[in-house]
Amino acid sequence: MSTLNADHLTLESAQKVLRRFISLDQTTGELAPDKALVRQALLLVANHSDYQIFGICADSSDQAAIALMNYLKALGYEQMPEVSAQEGPVYVKFNPKTGRCHADTYTGGHRGVLVSCQSAYDGDVNETFGHLPLDLWD
C-alpha cells in the first residue's frame, strides 16, 4: 500500500493513508491494505478528533455488528450498541455521542466501515474515511 512505516506516521501521513479508502469498493480487492499501517493511521487520526460516528455496509447484520464492536473497542469506546437484525445486506450507523444505533437494508455494492471524525476545533480532524476493511481489527 505504501512505503510508510506505522512507527513514523504523522497526522498528515495518517490522513493520506486513510484517504486512499474513500469510495473504494472493498468487494473487488482493488487494494490489499497493510492492516497494521491502517490501524495505526486510524488511531492517530481518532486521537485528533473529539469522537467518531460509524457507518457500516455489510452483507449481514451479524457481520456489521462484529465490525462495529471491533472498531469501537479498538478506538476506546465502552458502549456497545445492539444492532437490530435485518435480512440481507445492511447499513448500520452508530453515533456514540447520542448512543443512537440505526440499522436498515442496504442495496449498494460497497462494503466496509465509514469513520466520520468529529471535532469542535478547526485544527483537529473533521473528515470521513472509508470504506475501511470490515475485518481491520480481527
92 strand-pairing partners: 56, 103
Contact 61, 83 (CB under 8 A): yes
CA dist 4 and 23 (Å) reads 22
138 is a domain residue: no
Residue range(s) defining the domain that contains residue 49: 6-132
What whole-number percentage of the chain has pLDDT above 70? 88
Q: What is the C-alpha to C-alpha distance for residues 33 and 62, in angstroms, rounded to an integer?
A: 23
The CATH number given to whatever domain includes residue 20 is: 3.30.360.10
For 24, other C-beta atoms within 10 Å of its C-beta total 18
In a domain, 65, yes or no: yes
End-to-end CA separation in angstroms for the chain: 19
pTM for the whole structure: 0.87
Model pLDDT for residues 43-61, shown as the tens digit of each residue: 999 999 999 999 999 999 9
